[in-house]
């Protein structure tokens, strides 16, 4: 048999309000119950039962709130990770596009100034949109790589009639080093304090 069934609902609600809402000392509530002709044993049992229920309600409320806060924090962390991953993908795609614009002209012996102008513009746009947090550095590094590669390519392969296809990486590396240094310097100068 439930202990609370021995008491009427009005009395139970009154005791709940005294303890939970009005925050009256449980000893005072017991004294008031005894004054209302409730035995000391029953008054103590009633107050302890209501205090136990109240404590459990508070504990469950706190657990729910902590769970909600934990889920919110987890979602925010997940969103940050997804955003960081997307930014990395954009950076990798931008690097690929910049390298494509850099090597395509010299490989096909293109002498057209229009092609190189378009390649510089394409590399600048790829750097701008690919490096969303460091746009100026992305543009400068991309344009410099596309600008330098034809010179390093012609320097490295001048006077040679045969070479391996993989050797194209050597002049690409020669052009990439100053482009990366410019990217790094501009990143440090202009974007040092904006990283999260």
Which domain does 149 fall in, by range?
87-191
**Residue 144, Cβ neighbours under 10 Å: how many?**
23
Asked whether the beta carbons of 119 and 172 are under 8 A apart, the reply is: no
Total domain count for the chain?
A: 1
141 touches 182 (CB < 8 A): yes
- Mean per-residue pLDDT pooled into runs of 10, the chain (196 residues): 55 76 76 80 82 81 76 76 88 94 89 92 94 92 95 89 85 94 92 61
Give me the pLDDT at residue 194, please. Answer: 53
What pLDDT sits at residue 1?
35
In a domain, 102, yes or no: yes
Burial code of 161-171, b = ≥16 C-beta within 10 A, e = fewer?
eeeeeeebeeb
pLDDT (0 to 100) of residue 170: 92
Q: Residue 47: is it exposed, middle or buried by C-beta count within 10 angstroms (0-12/13-18/19+)?
A: buried
Is 133 part of any domain? yes
The whole-number pLDDT of residue 6 equals: 56
Q: Considering the domain boundaries, does residue 150 fall inside one?
A: yes
Is 138 a member of any domain?
A: yes
Q: Is residue 106, in this structure, part of any structural domain at all? A: yes
Q: Is residue 14 part of a domain?
A: no
Residue 21 placed within a domain: no
Nearest 5°: the CA angle 56, 58, 60 is 70
Distance CA 78, CA 72 (A): 10
Residue 109 lies in a domain: yes
pTM of the model: 0.61
pLDDT value of position 58 = 80
pLDDT at 3: 44
């Amino acid at each position: 048999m439930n202990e609370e069934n021995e008491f009427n609902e009005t009395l139970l609600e009154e005791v709940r309000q005294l303890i939970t809402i009005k925050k009256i000392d449980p000893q005072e509530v017991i004294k008031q119950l005894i004054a209302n002709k409730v035995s000391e044993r029953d008054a103590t049992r009633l107050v302890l039962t209501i205090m136990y229920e109240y404590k459990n309600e508070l504990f469950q409320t706190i657990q729910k709130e902590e769970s909600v806060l934990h889920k919110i924090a987890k979602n925010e962390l997940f969103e940050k990770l997804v955003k960081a991953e997307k930014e990395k993908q954009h950076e990798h795609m931008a690097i690929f596009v910049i390298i494509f614009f850099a090597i395509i002209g010299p490989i096909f012996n293109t002498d057209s100034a229009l092609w190189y102008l378009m390649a510089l513009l394409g590399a600048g746009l790829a750097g701008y949109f690919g490096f969303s947090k460091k746009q100026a550095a992305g543009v400068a590094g991309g344009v410099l790589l596309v600008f330098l590669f034809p010179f390093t390519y012609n320097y490295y392969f001048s006077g040679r009639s045969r070479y391996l296809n993989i050797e194209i990486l050597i002049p690409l590396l020669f052009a990439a080093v100053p482009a990366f240094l410019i990217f790094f310097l501009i990143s440090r100068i202009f974007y040092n304090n904006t990283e999260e």
